[in-house]
Amino acid sequence: MDTVEKKKVTGKTEETLKAWNRIDAEYYCSTGSEGFNGIAAEKKNRTEPKEGRSGAEKTATGRSAALILAAGRSSRMQAEIPKQFLLYRERPLFLWSVEKYRRIVDLTVVVTGEADVEKTKDCLASFGMDDVPVIPGGEERYDSSFRGLLYLEEKGGFDTVMIHDAARAFVTEEIIGSALESARNQGTAVAAVPLKDTVKRADEKGLVLDTPDRSSLYLIQTPQAFSLELILACYRRFFAEKEKHPALSVTDDASVVEQFSDHPVQLTPGSYDNIKITTPDDLKWLRE
């Protein structure tokens, strides 16, 4: 079958999503690795990622690792397949983040849904990244983060960990490097951008209660980077507390440090282009 170019898919959001689901289901959800190998073979002139990281890209002493979280159910995307397998420039979305982190940190690990472990391994191998471990995640994002952290602890030898959403394919090496440097120097780093729009706080009827000062408000992104010892200790406290209060939850990794330690969380520069592909409206970012 001829390769279908994503940039030719036009029409309403629903029609676009339907077309993309059909294409990706054929190439990326078939049994075995034929779909991955077929796409990889067609892209003969692509630049292969380097093995590990180059000397020029090493930022400091100490070993660092990255967890690429790709275990979400993509319910808001309303897609038939996990969004990390959506194509961007003939590659599944999550590979763009994996490639960038491999250039900077000592070890990059993909944490994905249990049902997608083998597909993810096949995909990585087809694009020359079979040195990247793939482990199963959990029900919630925090479960996946903790499983990844325990994996790094068991491997041993890492002092800094970066945690990144697989759906943030447009992260830059500058953003990653800045967060890594901060985490090594201060123990924490969270990529963020200042809020541009005015924010209103409203009640359940939609009536405005007040207007917070936006000068101190930021949109939080990934990477979020930490001392491995610090984030593991905080996650263990979180899960111990969750046993007593099952409804307890957190929305990002920095929240665990904020709630279960006195360690300050440092914001580092993000980018307004470092978006997370989350809903059908975000598909426009993947079309060229």
Q: How far is Cα 223 from Cα 226, in angstroms, rounded to an integer?
A: 10
For residue 284, the model assigns a pLDDT of 62
> pLDDT tens, 51-110?
344 333 444 457 999 999 998 665 444 456 667 778 877 788 899 999 999 999 999 999
- Is pLDDT larger for residue 86 or for residue 121? 121
Q: Residue 282 burial by CB count (10 A; 0-12/13-18/19+): exposed, middle or buried?
A: middle
Choice among 48-57, 214-223, 275-284 with the minimum mean pLDDT:
48-57
For residue 87, the model assigns a pLDDT of 80
The architecture that CATH gives domain 55-286 is Alpha-Beta Complex (3.90)
Q: For strand 218-227 and strand 188-194, is the pairing parallel, antiparallel, or unpaired?
A: antiparallel
- Is pLDDT larger for residue 285 or for residue 213? 213
- Is pLDDT larger for residue 109 or for residue 278? 109
Q: How far is Cα 285 from Cα 170, in angstroms, rounded to an integer?
A: 10
Question: Helix 141-155 vs helix 253-260: angle between axes, to the nearest 10 degrees?
Answer: 80
Whether the per-residue pLDDT at 273 is higher than 70: the answer is: yes
Angle (nearest 5°) at CA 81 between 77 and 87: 85
- What SS3 class is residue 222? strand
For residue 90, the model assigns a pLDDT of 78
pLDDT band (50, 70, 90) for residue 280: low
Contact 93, 51 (CB under 8 A): no
For residue 277, the model assigns a pLDDT of 83
pLDDT band (50, 70, 90) for residue 165: very high
pLDDT band (50, 70, 90) for residue 286: low
